[in-house]
Structure 1
Amino acid sequence: MPITRRRIFSLLAGAATAVGVPSIWMTFMKTYDGPVSDHFDGLHFFDPDGSPPKSLAEVLRWQLAGRGQRAVWPDWVPSPYADTPPPRVEGAKVRLSFVGHASWLIQAAGLNILVDPVWSMRVSPFSFAGPKRHNDPGVAFEKLPRIDIVLVSHGHYDHLDVATLSRLTKNFGPRVITPLGNDVTMREADATIKAEAFDWHQRVELGNDLAVTLVPTRHWSARGLFDRNKALWASFVLETPAGKLYIVCDSGYGDGRHFRRVAETHGPLRLAILPIGAYEPRWFMRDQHMNPEDAVKALADCGAAQALAHHHGTFQLTDEAIDAPVIALGEALDAAKVPREKFAALKPGQVFEV
């Protein structure tokens, strides 16, 4: 395929979403400024038990040399489901609606919580290139109940979607809970977003006896060419009347210690939401994205009673086929002798209740 200007933009947009190599005009954006810690050196965040992101040369090697290995997704794969959530969910029940990719609506204790909300058609710094939706959100934006809280895990474009955050702010004015530095990104784009930034291990009261704790995860963050790891990334442990939910929006597996530590510190866990997609090629993606086999090991490590899969089937970020993650998840569960119903892969619009 010839390297045209549009092709270059497309490559950059795809890399921006999957690994954080975005547009030149995002290069000089403001970034986090805070005290040194055991995971912040004064300029960059780091995971003492993780791996650094791939180099730009490795990004280009994957994007240019490996494109022939990339599966072709159908243009549009509609989900047979569409959810119309109730205004509130009270009592000891938790209702989870899968919006798509890494986006969830969680309703519990009279509060409505969105996780990594993305209603945009593309997850990219460009409006004309980059990963595009292959199905509608499982909940139409107009059918959302009043949103009280938004959790945003990190700054990659398929998780921090400024356009959606601005719509939510205009309609509902929710609190936005996010790791350190991502609040800067949000407010630079829209000063009205009510972003609150927290460090790993900080516990945040949400009201109605709900609380969330930000916990380390094996990943990284970037939105500009020179802002790699200048904002923090995290997973969430959400305390609800039905038990604790462990929400992992993006993570590699490594040796599993991140998941075991959550079990030791926050267990027992009622439910884990674990990513299973965007994992090929493994030489490139292993350190930042789990494959289904890794996700099954992560479920065993964290000890959750039940798991739900996400990060698949909506945006093509990497090389595997659209249905490969769900097929491989079933095979990995069978190999590990784990009942398939213990780790369910929903389609957008499907609902799960705890």
Structure 2
Amino acid sequence: MKNHGFLKLASAMTVMTLGGVGYAAHRRSRNPYYRGPVSDHFDGVRFFSPGQPPDKGLGDVARWQFGSGREAWPASVPSPFPQDTPPERVDGLRVVHIGHASLLIQVAGRNILIDPVYAKRASPVGFTGPKRANPPGIAFTALPPIDAVLITHNHYDHLDGPILARLWAEHAPTFVAPLGNDAILRTYDATIPVETRDWGGSVDLGGGITVHLVPANHWSARGVNDRRMALWCAFVLTTPQGLLYHVGDTGYGDGAIFREVRQRFGPPRLASLPIGAYEPRWFMQPQHMNPEEAVRVFREVGATQALGHHWGTFRLTNEGPGEPAEALGRALAEAALPAERFLALRPGQVWDSGADR
């Protein structure tokens, strides 16, 4: 039991890095990823989301890890959808869920991967940490030619370094990430070029598609001493097929960042929103929305269609594997919204542009 408890705590610290371990001791340490001017969300060493609560400490991590309320997960949570074999190009809009927060977006003749993770564990090590409960919804060898890879932030369930290096070697896509993440990618392949931007920045992906980096209420870390030293973001894509809004991870906060997206860009045709990794709320609320909050975001941005991700592949938090989809159904019913307007995607599941007609 002691060893099991130690592994649980080590997993929380080194894999998810959800506590502020080492923060005070390294408050004045040099940022190894990024150097730049102080701003309203960068203090010269660390990034922050304005108005976000203080970091959790080691005591909070221990309280969560050794507390009650963790739902059991089976070793396998199979998807009812087979692995997809995408077409080489799509003129319209087609989205496939690879798993967790990984999506392939095919739009206007371009193929865009967001947060592609193919690792068996969302972890810096192979012997502990959240283990994949279902295979990727697209086999890596079945991917079409990839034109761009978008990275929202550096947590291991979103930034899979070895697979990004393989994508560069085999597809040579444009990589887009928030500030500081280029240094992390280059530890896996020093030749990877990365277009890094601050919140408010944008990158032209060609074919009439531009990706814009916008705020998210989250944080970053690859270990215990680099908390918030690389920026995180959400993405807005302006495309010939309409506006796409993708959030990798975020807390709801006061909702201002979502209302600002609508004010700046207009209502999205499609919003892909996280719906999992939200329990216990006392710990997760600042950084992870629950399904009820995701429905609130869906309504506030005015999206025509929403797709739910970040659930059912890696056991990161306390809720069971099926609870996010069930909670999403309840939240949609409470809001008097049709279930088909906001789908909880499973690996291999396809949504295409005919779905919202």
TM-score tier (shorter): over 0.9
The alpha-carbon deviation at position 193 of structure 1 amounts to 2.3
| Mapped contact 1:252–1:287 kept (Cα < 8 A) | yes
Match of 1:124 in 2: 123
The alpha-carbon deviation at position 214 of structure 1 amounts to 0.2
Alpha-carbon distance in 2 for matches of 1:222, 1:240: 31
Q: Does 1:87 align with 2:82?
A: no
The alpha-carbon deviation at position 61 of structure 1 amounts to 1.9
The alpha-carbon deviation at position 189 of structure 1 amounts to 2.9
Secondary structure at 1:122's aligned position in 2?
A: coil
Q: 1:192 to 1:20 in 2, by over 3 A?
A: farther
Q: 1:330 to 1:265 in 2, by over 3 A?
A: same
Match of 1:12 in 2: 10
Q: Does 1:163 align with 2:165?
A: no
| Mapped contact 1:16–1:156 kept (Cα < 8 A) | no
Q: 1:156 to 1:249 in 2, by over 3 A?
A: same
Alpha-carbon distance in 2 for matches of 1:10, 1:45: 28
Secondary structure at 2:186's aligned position in 1?
A: helix
Q: Does 1:77 align with 2:51?
A: no
CA deviation string 1:227-282 (max 9, x = no partner): 11111000000111111100001000112111111111111211110100000000
Match of 2:175 in 1: 176
Alpha-carbon distance in 2 for matches of 1:225, 1:15: 7
Q: For residues 330-341 of structure 1, what are the structure 2 equivalents within 5 Å?
A: 330-341=329-340
Match of 2:194 in 1: 195
Secondary structure at 1:155's aligned position in 2?
A: coil
Match of 1:246 in 2: 245
Match of 2:152 in 1: 153
CA deviation string 1:302-343 (max 9, x = no partner): 111110000000000000010000000000111111111111
Give the CA RMSD over aligned residues: 1.9
Alpha-carbon distance in 2 for matches of 1:18, 1:48: 22
| Mapped contact 2:21–2:57 kept (Cα < 8 A) | no
Q: 1:21 to 1:126 in 2, by over 3 A?
A: farther
Secondary structure at 1:196's aligned position in 2?
A: strand
Secondary structure at 2:187's aligned position in 1?
A: helix
CA deviation string 1:269-299 (max 9, x = no partner): 1111010000000000000000111111111
The alpha-carbon deviation at position 109 of structure 1 amounts to 1.8
| Mapped contact 1:20–1:228 kept (Cα < 8 A) | no
Aligned residues: 346
Match of 1:144 in 2: 143
Q: For residues 156-305 of structure 1, what are the structure 2 equivalents within 5 Å?
A: 156-305=155-304
* Bigger shift: residues 206-215 or 182-191: 182-191
Alpha-carbon distance in 2 for matches of 1:50, 1:94: 35
Q: 1:173 to 1:23 in 2, by over 3 A?
A: farther
Secondary structure at 1:284's aligned position in 2?
A: helix
State the identity as a percent: 53
The alpha-carbon deviation at position 57 of structure 1 amounts to 2.2
* Bigger shift: residues 15-24 or 34-43: 15-24
The TM-score, its normalising length taken from structure 1, stands at: 0.93
Match of 1:307 in 2: 306
CA deviation string 1:132-153 (max 9, x = no partner): 0000000001100111100000
Q: 1:16 to 1:299 in 2, by over 3 A?
A: farther
The alpha-carbon deviation at position 23 of structure 1 amounts to 11
| Mapped contact 1:44–1:229 kept (Cα < 8 A) | yes
CA deviation string 1:67-121 (max 9, x = no partner): x42111110122122100011112xx11101101000000112211000000010
Match of 1:37 in 2: 39
The TM-score, its normalising length taken from structure 2, stands at: 0.93
| Mapped contact 1:180–1:197 kept (Cα < 8 A) | yes
Q: Give unpaired runs (5+ residues) of structure 2.
A: none
Q: 1:274 to 1:234 in 2, by over 3 A?
A: same
Match of 2:57 in 1: 55
Q: 1:22 to 1:11 in 2, by over 3 A?
A: farther
Alpha-carbon distance in 1 for matches of 2:142, 2:102: 15
* Bigger shift: residues 134-143 or 184-193: 184-193
* Bigger shift: residues 265-274 or 189-198: 189-198
CA deviation string 1:140-167 (max 9, x = no partner): 0110011110000001110011011111
| Mapped contact 2:249–2:274 kept (Cα < 8 A) | yes
The alpha-carbon deviation at position 190 of structure 1 amounts to 2.0
The alpha-carbon deviation at position 10 of structure 1 amounts to 4.4
CA deviation string 1:31-72 (max 9, x = no partner): 211111121111111111323332222112212x21x42111
The alpha-carbon deviation at position 7 of structure 1 amounts to 5.0
Alpha-carbon distance in 2 for matches of 1:13, 1:23: 13
| Mapped contact 2:237–2:244 kept (Cα < 8 A) | yes
Q: Which amino acid aligns with 2:60?
A: E
Secondary structure at 2:127's aligned position in 1?
A: coil
